[in-house]
Every structure is written in C-alpha cells, then in structure tokens.
Amino acid sequence: MALTSIGQQKTPGRPIEITFAAETGLPSDSQEVLLIGHAASGATGLNTIIKIDNSGDLAAASAEAETKFGAGSEAARMVIAAVKANAGQSTLPALKVCPLDSGETSIPVPAQNAIMAVKAEFVVSPYDLDADTASRDILKTMALSMSGAQRTDNNQFGTFGLGANMAVQSPSALFMFDTQFLIGIWFRDTGTGPDLSTYTVAEVAAAAAARLAGNGIPFNPVNDLTLGSVPTPKKTDDWITVGAGLESEAALQQGWTPLRTKPNGEVAFVRSVTGRISADGTGAPVVGAYYDVQDFQVLYFFRKTLWTTFSQPTWKRRKASQSAAVQLKGELIRLAQQFETQNMFQFVNELAKFFQVERNASDRSRFDFKTPVNVIPGLHVIAGNIEATTMFDTLVI
C-alpha cells in the first residue's frame, strides 16, 4: 500500500499531504428516547418527529414542551416526566417527540413511518401495554424493524418499544409478549377519587425510558434505582411485595419490569428486563439469561461499535484481499477486548479462537464474519447460608 496518495510529478517539489487516522476507540454511548404522546387540540407538527432542545433543564424543557405541544397535553407531560426522571444525573438522553392528534386512539401510519426513519433506542407508547393489543403490536413491529441488520446505515443499532401498565392487580395476569423488542413497566396504582395518583401510564413509561436511556456503559443493572419523578401510589395496598415467591417475581416471570415503592416512599426499579421469555417465542424459558435490558444494550452498542469502525474510509475503500480478511479478524478481536476492558464482555481470549471471517460464497467482494461474545450478566442475587453452631461452646476452666 502506498504511503501517500500524492500523484507522480517530474517537476521538483516537496508536496506533503495531511490525513486523519481512523478512529479506533469506542463510539458515543449516548442513547435517545422517542416519546409518542397526544398533543393539545390545534397543535402543529402532528405525526412528525420534533426534537427537544432542553432535555437537561426542567424549567426550560417544560416551557418548550408546552409551547410545542400545548400546556397540560399528554406529550408535554411525558417530556416533563422524562426530564424529571434524570434530574441531577450526569448522563441525560436526548429526547424526541412524535405528537399525535388529541383524538387519536392508536399510532397512525404516518407517525409509524416518521418514527421508523429516525434513531431512537427507546420508543415510548402512551397506551396501556397490557390492555391495548393493537398499539402494542404496532410498537413491537416498529422496534423489530428499527433493530434489523440492514438498519445500521440509517444510524439505527437496536430499539426497545416501551410502555406501561398500572391497572392489572395480579402480576401473573400480565400479558406475556415474549420478545426482546418490548419492555413492559408494571406499576400498580388502582386508586380512584382522592386515592388516585396524578401520573398516567404515558408518564410512567416516559420516566422509565429516560432513566434506562441515561444508564451508559458498562450498562450496569438499575436494581433499586429511583425514578425521581414518579409519585408514590396513594393506596399502600398498591405497593407491590418484593422477593422470591412474591409479586415482583411473578411480574419478572411474565417478562415485565416491576416498579416498587421503597419504605421511604421513593419509586424504583426492581429489575429491568425485556419481554424475552424464550429463544423462539414458544414460551420455554431461556437458559443463561439474555433477557435483561442491559444485556441487549451491550449487544446493540457492540453492533454500533463494529459499524462505526468498519465505516471508516480505510475500510470503505480497499481490496477484498486475504490480508484485509486477516486485519478484519484482528479488529474484531481488538474491539471485543475493549469491551472486556470496559467490563461488558468476558472470556474474549477464549472465544477469539471461534471468531470467523470468510469470503461470501456467492459474492467475492463481500466478507462475512461471526463473533461469539459473552456479555457479563448483572449481579442480581447474592444468596448465603448463616449456620448457627455450638462449636467452641464448651466452658473450660
């Protein structure tokens, strides 16, 4: 390979070019939340994507959202809930909104098309994710499409559809949607009249999504992490029981993320999971995890990292040679090792021998690769045994 791209010349001279080396580090881990919410009557920009410029300032975000979507509108309240959820945090996800007509009862096709054309790690539905089957199916379809292998050139590397439910009393009755593309937030609040809390399912979903999106690398679990904006259910009977054999376990077994109320009244995650129950949608429990939200955040970030690396000019304009294949495999291992250094992967050296790069059987200008990776699971349970003994109990004088 030539050391410069300067062409040949016979005239004496000293031409010297300046080039930039390829970026070899990890890309940005910033995540974006797209809120779907109803605007006030007469609002403009319906079924389009509108960015929120002040996602780190509650007062400014409130004024901006109310100006764009109408004071008191669902879309404005979702923005405010999302900003409040991360108040005081160091990582603040970017917010986008797809405002719907005030009388809309689902997610219309124009809104779907606009949503699927942009980058968003979390797409938040204002509808009840348990009760509203039609909207849930639309949300799942959008997230699945946005997570497709061919979407990477659109800056889309993996998307969760997220919604909430507050009405189901028994967690075992929650709908089991069995997919990694949906996150269901269960936050029981069945009060009526003076016992009814002020938040809606749309606001709970917005707050939860913003909190999850603010969790950057290495994507640690959010167990017991407080959602700063979500009010405590006024009926203490709605505070869920937490532990093995209790309501939190039943919700998690259904593929839902339960929110608990701490003794001090704060609302927090118990554990954040996707709706994935089985490997193939049959409901047979998956073995070895890969259902936590953080598992997929790591995998989606690795996808983004690979795309970013191999979109560098040095990889876009070169021959499909044997040496290029060797270098490709070396880059895959190097990037996996970086993830191991950042506490996201483990056993990279052991798995590296199984990394594969080969020329495609029907397209000689294409390389195919396979990289088995072991995502470090979150530490969720520490179980112990306290043994009461009478050893050394003998009195000796």
Its pTM stands at 0.94
Which of 167-171, 288-292, 368-372 has the lowest average pLDDT?
A: 288-292
For residue 287, pLDDT over 70 is answered with no
The answer to whether residues 190 and 326 belong to one domain is no
Better-predicted residue by pLDDT, 229 or 8:
8
The answer to whether residues 340 and 257 belong to one domain is no
The CB density around residue 40, as the number of other CB atoms within 10 Å, is: 17
For residue 123, pLDDT over 70 is answered with yes
Whether residue 16 lies inside any domain: the answer is no
The answer to whether residues 245 and 350 belong to one domain is no
Question: Residue 352 has which token pair?
Answer: 């590296």
The answer to whether residues 97 and 239 belong to one domain is yes
The answer to whether residues 203 and 328 belong to one domain is no
Give me the long-range contacts of 221-224 (CB less than 8 A, separation at least 24): 221/271, 221/272, 221/292, 221/294, 221/378, 221/379, 221/380, 222/269, 222/271, 222/272, 222/293, 222/294, 223/269, 223/270, 223/271, 223/378, 223/380, 224/262, 224/268, 224/269, 224/270
The answer to whether residues 183 and 223 belong to one domain is yes
The answer to whether residues 326 and 263 belong to one domain is no
State the chain's mean pLDDT as an integer. Answer: 94
The answer to whether residues 223 and 261 belong to one domain is yes
In the listed set 294, 321, 338, which residue is the last one of a domain according to the structure? 294
For residue 145, pLDDT over 80 is answered with yes
Whether residue 8 lies inside any domain: the answer is no
Q: What is the pLDDT of residue 1?
A: 63
Provide the domain limits for residue 147: 32-294
Mean per-residue pLDDT for 150-165?
97
Whether residue 234 lies inside any domain: the answer is yes
Whether residue 78 lies inside any domain: the answer is yes
The answer to whether residues 77 and 153 belong to one domain is yes
In the listed set 294, 324, 341, which residue is the last one of a domain according to the structure? 294
Question: Residue 241 has which token pair?
Answer: 């029981």
In the listed set 294, 321, 356, which residue is the last one of a domain according to the structure? 294
The answer to whether residues 339 and 224 belong to one domain is no
- For the chain, the domain total comes to 2
Distances (CA, A) of 281 to 162, 274, 275, 284, 286: 19, 13, 10, 8, 10
> What does the alpha-carbon distance between residue 120 and residue 33 come to, in Å, rounded to a whole number?
6
Give me the long-range contacts of 385-388 (CB less than 8 A, separation at least 24): none
Mean per-residue pLDDT for 178-188?
97
The answer to whether residues 239 and 358 belong to one domain is no
Whether residue 325 lies inside any domain: the answer is yes
Q: What is the pLDDT of residue 206?
A: 98
With contact defined as beta carbons under 8 Å apart, do 39 and 70 qualify? yes
Tens-place pLDDT, residues 43-94? 999 999 999 999 989 999 999 999 999 999 999 999 999 999 998 888 899 9
Q: What secondary structure letter does DSSP report for 264? A: T
With contact defined as beta carbons under 8 Å apart, do 143 and 161 qualify? yes
Q: What percent of the chain has pLDDT above 70?
A: 99
